[in-house]
């Protein structure tokens, strides 16, 4: 079984890529909606939540856990790997491919403050982006919009304009989505950016890395591919987003649970 967790519903964008790649595996997804957003919490608070959710998933027989949250990865991935025996796959903004592919030498990164402070991001920046200019934009309020089910409309567009326009004005030709919630806003981002920005979503690469680790550890599917979605808070937005991807997932596969 592949366990996945995020501060909320954003990691559904990662589940989609994982499920597309490995449809025969079982998935249990935990949205920690009661504690969302993580971006405004301390590292210690995030580690505590990540620990509890990981223990929950391991007790559900998770063979591998995907931390489908950039902020949780930045704060907790080292702790999780040192305290649990199952493999963990984390998220980090795809700065490396953006820097390598940029023709203008300018790339934008849209992420939370917690991600920008994380050692994973800072190390990636040092290793792979020393030859480009990186425009960092903290996407305050975007997670909350997605969590409330707002992925289109004037409110979304106005907030995204505040973050995207400075990236365009700086001459960037790549925009890295540094939060798993942001792929649900891609249509509006494209509308604002027109053709000036190529949007880079790291979720497909994370899915491929997960498959690689599963193959290396010879983790075999145990059934025909079940999908369970658990929320520690509101569950309606999760249902809505999951059903835009797979409308056939039945009601009993969505569970509210206090972790």
Residues labelled catalytic: 69, 179
What is the number of alpha carbons within 13 Å of residue 122 lying toward its C-beta?
8
Cis-peptide, bond into residue 37, ω within 30° of zero: yes
| Burial degree of 107 (CB within 10 A; 0-12, 13-18, 19+) | buried
Query: Rounded distance, CA 218 to CA 14, Å?
Result: 22
User: What count of other Cβ atoms lies within 10 Å of the Cβ of residue 37?
Assistant: 24
How many residues appear in the chain? 259
Instruction: Quote the tokens at residue 3.
Output: 């366990």
User: CB-based burial of residue 117 (10 Å sphere; 0-12 exposed, 13-18 middle, 19+ buried)?
Assistant: middle
Phi-psi category of residue 132: left, alpha or beta, with phi > 0 → left and psi -120 to 50 → alpha: beta
């Amino acid at each position: 079984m592949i366990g996945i967790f995020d501060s909320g519903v954003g990691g559904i964008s990662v589940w989609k890529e994982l499920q597309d790649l490995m449809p025969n595996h079982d998935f249990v997804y935990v949205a920690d909606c009661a504690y969302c957003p993580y971006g405004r919490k301390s590292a210690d608070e995030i580690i505590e939540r990540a620990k509890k959710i990981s223990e929950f998933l391991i007790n559900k027989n998770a063979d591998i856990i995907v931390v489908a949250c950039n902020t949780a990865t930045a704060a907790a991935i080292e702790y999780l790997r040192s305290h649990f025996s199952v493999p963990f796959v984390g998220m980090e903004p795809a700065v490396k491919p953006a820097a390598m592919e940029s023709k203008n030498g300018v790339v934008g990164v849209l992420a939370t403050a917690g991600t920008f402070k994380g050692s994973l991001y800072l190390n990636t920046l040092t290793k792979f982006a020393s030859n480009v200019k990186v425009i960092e934009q903290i996407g305050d309020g975007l997670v909350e919009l997605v969590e409330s089910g707002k992925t289109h409309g004037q409110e979304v567009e106005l907030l995204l304009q505040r973050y995207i326009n400075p990236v365009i004005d700086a001459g960037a030709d790549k925009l890295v989505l540094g939060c798993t919630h942001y792929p649900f806003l891609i249509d509006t981002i494209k509308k604002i950016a027109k053709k000036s920005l190529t949007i880079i979503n790291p979720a497909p690469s994370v899915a491929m890395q997960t498959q690689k680790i599963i193959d290396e550890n010879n983790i075999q599917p145990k059934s025909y591919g079940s999908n369970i979605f658990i929320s520690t808070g509101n569950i309606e937005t999760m249902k809505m987003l999951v059903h835009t991807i797979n409308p056939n997932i039945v009601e009993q596969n969505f569970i509210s649970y206090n972790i």
